[in-house]
């Protein structure tokens, strides 16, 4: 990557905007030079706390010729309309995951790339964790042998805290509960580690005592195009867990982080676990591996900066973002069909027709 700093703007100035702005401040690859929110109070507060000048309106921010790209941290349902305005202005787009609240909107965002000659980067940062990259390296080098099975779990206690005043309470805003809010991270990780996902089958349950509309337990089985299988579990009534395992004919690798450090990814390596078991070795003979220092948020923003600099798509593509949403949709449809497998390609094809 070049050392020249790319100037970008940010739209939507809530909690996550602060997380990404702090990550960007540690990088020499990009600089956030303007921020906008429809709330004047938020604009002024963000400028005071983060030191990012506030634009009086989105038009002013998008008219700045020095700004090459724009980071979107607006609510999911606003991703498409705001991304469209950004692309029309000739700026590259970074949007937080999911790419959109619906697959139809996500495909429309993907189409902006050809329509306006810009790139779209989607913030599926979990695949950028150092431990995840180590697993991928072991797969690519053949160290694990033929990969046959993947499993992942992303859980936390969110459903125990829900009230009717929180948007995650409602089925139409958080479909499937942890399925759309947590498991979606793991669906992208599964795609990254295992390749094309062919179909999904899922079941769900509601066990939280608070009485929210959404399911709070989710279990999804995946079948990949090459025949391997996988599992993603997500419980919304337990202590936080984020763990991935990859099983191959020569070895198995396990990676787990302390979810409590999610907002400070530069500290993940201090408490995470990564090990490999080889051949017929049992648990007692596992080899504990050192997890390198990394910062998934800074890395994804630097990938975005490179897209802005070169005009070329990076790894965190709109297509990958849409695959993750398509797997969520397939899982939700499977739940309605009592666990029947649903093809990912069919879900995407139907969404294209309905656009």
In a domain, 325, yes or no: no
Taking only the tens place, the pLDDT of each residue in 286-329 is 999 999 999 999 999 999 999 999 999 999 999 999 999 999 99
DSSP three-state, residue 291: coil
Same domain, 115 and 130: no
Report the alpha-carbon distance of residue 47 to residue 100 in Å, rounded.
27
In a domain, 322, yes or no: no
Same domain, 137 and 102: no
Taking only the tens place, the pLDDT of each residue in 51-100 is 999 999 999 999 999 999 999 999 999 999 999 999 999 999 999 999 99
Q: How many domains does the chain have?
A: 2
The predicted pLDDT at position 241 comes to 95
Same domain, 177 and 87: no
Same domain, 141 and 259: yes
Same domain, 116 and 217: no
In a domain, 157, yes or no: yes
CATH code at position 174: 3.30.360.10
φ and ψ of 273, to 5 deg:
-125, 135
Q: Would you say how long the chain is, in residues?
A: 355
| One-letter-per-residue 3-state SS of 9-33 | EEECCCHHHHHHHHHHHCCCCEEEE
CATH code at position 39: 3.40.50.720
Buried-exposed string 258-294: b where 16+ CB fall within 10 A, e elsewhere: ebebbeebbebbeebebebbbeeeeeeebeebebeeb
Same domain, 100 and 150: no
| Among the ranges given (142-151, 260-269, 338-347), the one the predictor scored with the smallest mean pLDDT | 260-269
Same domain, 272 and 309: no
Same domain, 151 and 286: yes
- The domain containing residue 287 runs over which residues? 126-294
Same domain, 179 and 282: yes
């Amino acid at each position: 990557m070049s050392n020249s700093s790319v100037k970008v703007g940010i739209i939507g100035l809530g909690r996550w905007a602060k997380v990404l702005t702090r990550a960007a401040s540690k990088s020499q690859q990009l600089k956030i030079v303007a921020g906008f929110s429809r709330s004047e109070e938020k604009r002024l507060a963000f400028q005071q706390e983060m030191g990012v000048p506030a634009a009086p309106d989105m038009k002013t921010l998008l008219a700045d010729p020095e700004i090459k790209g724009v980071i979107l941290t607006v609510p999911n349902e606003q991703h498409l309309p705001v991304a469209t305005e950004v692309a029309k202005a000739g700026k590259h787009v970074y949007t937080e995951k999911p790419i959109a609240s619906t697959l139809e909107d996500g495909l429309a965002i993907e189409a902006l790339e050809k329509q306006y000659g810009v790139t779209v980067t989607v913030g599926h940062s979990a695949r950028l964790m150092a431990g995840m990259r180590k697993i991928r390296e072991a797969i690519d080098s053949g160290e694990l042998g033929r990969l046959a099975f993947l499993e992942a779990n992303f859980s936390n206690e969110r459903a125990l805290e829900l009230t009717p005043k929180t948007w995650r309470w409602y089925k139409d805003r958080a479909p499937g509960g942890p399925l759309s809010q947590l498991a979606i991270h793991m669906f992208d990780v599964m795609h990254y580690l295992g390749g094309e996902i062919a179909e999904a089958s899922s079941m769900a349950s509601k066990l939280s005592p608070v009485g929210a509309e959404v399911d709070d337990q989710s279990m999804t089985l995946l079948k990949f195009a090459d025949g391997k299988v996988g599992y993603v579990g997500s419980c919304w009534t337990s202590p936080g867990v984020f763990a991935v395992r990859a099983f191959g004919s020569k070895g198995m690798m396990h990676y787990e982080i302390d979810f409590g450090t999610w907002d400070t990814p530069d500290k993940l390596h201090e408490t995470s676990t990564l090990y490999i078991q080889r051949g017929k070795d049992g648990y007692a003979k596992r080899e504990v591996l050192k997890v390198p220092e990394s910062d998934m948020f800074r890395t994804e923003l630097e990938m975005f900066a490179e897209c802005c600099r070169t005009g070329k798509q990076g790894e965190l593509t709109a297509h990958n973002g849409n695959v993750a949403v398509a797997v969520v949709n397939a899982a939700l449809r499977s739940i309605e069909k009592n666990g029947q497998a649903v093809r990912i390609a069919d879900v995407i094809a139907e969404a294209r027709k309905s656009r």
